[in-house]
Each structure stands twice: as C-alpha cells, then as structure tokens.
Chains A and B, each alone.
Chain A
Amino acid sequence: NAGVTQTPKFQVLKTGQSMTLQCAQDMNHNSMYWYRQDPGMGLRLIYYSASEGTTDKGEVPNGYNVSRLNKREFSLRLESAAPSQTSVYFCASRATSGGTDTQYFGPGTRLTVL
C-alpha cells in the first residue's frame, strides 16, 4: 500500500513549456486534490475531483488543467508554464464514505519555471 504517489519529484521548465504532473492513489478514495504550496501562503487548492469523471476549480485554477483518468489517477497539466507557477505541488486523496474524512498527501513535486 503506497498511499499517494507523485511523479516527477523535481522538474525545471522554461517559460512556455508544458508538462503534466502525475498522481495516483491506491486507497480506493473517491476524492482527489491538487494543491500548490508557496512560502508564507500555506496550501492553496488548484483543482479537485469529488469522484471519477468530475472535476472542479479550486482557489487558484488559472493556468492549469486536470484530468481524472480513472478512480486511481488525477493529473495536473501546465499548458504554458510561467515563472509564477514555480512552486511545490501536492496531490491528495480522501475517502468520502466510511467516516475517515482525512486527506492523505503525496510527497510533492518541486517545479521551477525559468
């Protein structure tokens, strides 16, 4: 049971390049989330998926797209990277039944946009 996994761990992009951050969970959770963490700002929600086949915008969705490929996988895409997207990105998942109601986080992807 690996929990929440993310790839890659590190990435450096040039302005205008695109990339996809991958996330997978093996806990059979319905909901999945993408956050970004910036110094002094805590974690801010980019997008979330309440269940397979649905996605919704969070607090800071501009410049990002997501795909809930199946129940296990939730990817985040940057179509044209900008320096303002330099951040640490965390994926999380949560069971929405069974009473646990706890989000579990992946190890993060550190992205630098030059």
Chain B
Amino acid sequence: AQSVAQPEDQVNVAEGNPLTVKCTYSVSGNPYLFWYVQYPNRGLQFLLKYITGDNLVKGSYGFEAEFNKSQTSFHLKKPSALVSDSALYFCAVREQGANNLFFGTGTRLTVIP
C-alpha cells in the first residue's frame, strides 16, 4: 500500500529564513515523489519531482527537495523564504508502474514579513 505523511499542518517562517516542509512516504517498490503547491482558490501547481538519479532535486521558484531512501523522506526546502511562498503544499507518491498518485494531507506555509 502507498501512503504519504506530512506531519505538520502548519509551518510558520520569517521572510528571508530557510524553510523546510516535511514529507515521509511508504511504498512497496521504487517511489516517484512529487511536490505541488496550491494558492488560494487555485488548482495544484507542480513544483518538482524525484524519479531517479540525484537525491537533490531542484524545482520551480527556488525550491528543492532531498530524497532520502533510508529515512523514506522527501522534504521540501528553500534557502530564503518569500512572503509570496505562503500557500498550501502537498507531497505525493506514486509507486513505479502504478497509475495513481497518493497525496499527503497538506502543510500550510505562512511566511511572516
């Protein structure tokens, strides 16, 4: 069975500080991992993904994520937060060969000016 956990419902960070949004996953086989962002009253926008290769993945808007197989984690990071990064962030996993994405419950990021 596939599952994703985002242990923090809410993350607050000061503008200019580094941010981390946590995600852990569970799959039987090789994972394909994704981060999406949702702004108010909008659909989900793709940020980045890990399929294979380098464990550090770089994505849109200066975000990056590190795949850690031993800890089954895929935390989202950004060196310097912007107020405009305030949004709802979703981690998702698909097992290699499967058709469906499984989403975490989301983490609301608030960047404080």
Contacts and interface: CB of A to CB of B under 8 A. Distances in A.
Given A102-B34, A105-B43, A107-B42, A48 B105 contact: no
Contact of B100 (A41, A58, A107): A58
A74 interface: no
B36 to A, nearest CB: 8
Interface residues of B, number: 21
28 contacts: A4-B43, A40-B105, A41-B105, A42-B90, A42-B104, A43-B44, A43-B90, A44-B103, A45-B101, A48-B99, A50-B99, A56-B99, A90-B43, A101-B32, A101-B49, A101-B51, A101-B94, A102-B34, A102-B49, A103-B34, A103-B101, A104-B46, A105-B36, A105-B44, A105-B45, A106-B43, A107-B42, A108-B43
